[in-house]
Amino acid sequence: MSQLTWPDKGSATGLIAGPAGALEVEVELPRDTPRGLVVICHPHPQQGGTKDNKVVYMMARAARESGLAAVRFNFRSIGQSEGDYDDGHGEQDDLRAVRDWALKASRLSLAALAGFSFGSAVALRVTAADGAPSLVTVGFPSAYFERNVPRPDTDWLAVFGDADDVIAVDQAMEDVRTLTPPVTVEILEDAGHFLHGRLTDLRKLVAAHWSDKT
């Protein structure tokens, strides 16, 4: 796989330099000139998570529909990305490397960080530490934070399926709803963790949010 350069149109996939070796990155552009970019993180690397996960893909589509460039990538050890799984620590540095590369290569501004499940926890930690104009989390596992969930100073949309049987969803929703200032929480009724049958609803929800907030 070749070194990635930012595409003029359409999409492109390739490798960039990461903190533990090469990282596999995919860039998809909207139809018109993008007004910013979104970096989206995939679910747990040791549980089959990749940049091609359907929820991650649908979030990328939502970004494009709202006029934003979508950047997906594989965390270290997944696909063509080098390095070893690092329990969510080194993965934060992977996100930073992809974000910084995308900003420099595109000369666009950062509109949002986003993630699904494990990836949402990584996106939240980086947003809390570094800042971001917007944060979108799907299936956020608050248990990763031992109830000490940070509240970065940013617009945050948290989407949950209320029939999620992978995370402790009732506790996660409660943890997020108690944060100050309030987080925008959207519940997809009767939806499981992977939102089977509800991906179109997710796409429309996230696209509308980014169209309004970024």
Average pLDDT score over the chain: 97
- Residues in the chain, pLDDT under 70: none
> How many other C-beta atoms lie within 10 A of the C-beta of residue 156?
24
Cis peptide before 181 (omega within 30 of 0): yes
Q: What is the pTM of this model?
A: 0.97
- The pLDDT score that the predictor gives to residue 177 is 97
Structure tokens at 112: 């949002």
* CA angle, 50 then 194 then 117, to 5°: 60
- The pLDDT score that the predictor gives to residue 2 is 82
Domains of the chain: 11-213 (3.40.50.1820)
Q: How far apart are CA 71 and CA 102, in angstroms?
A: 8
- The pLDDT score that the predictor gives to residue 155 is 97
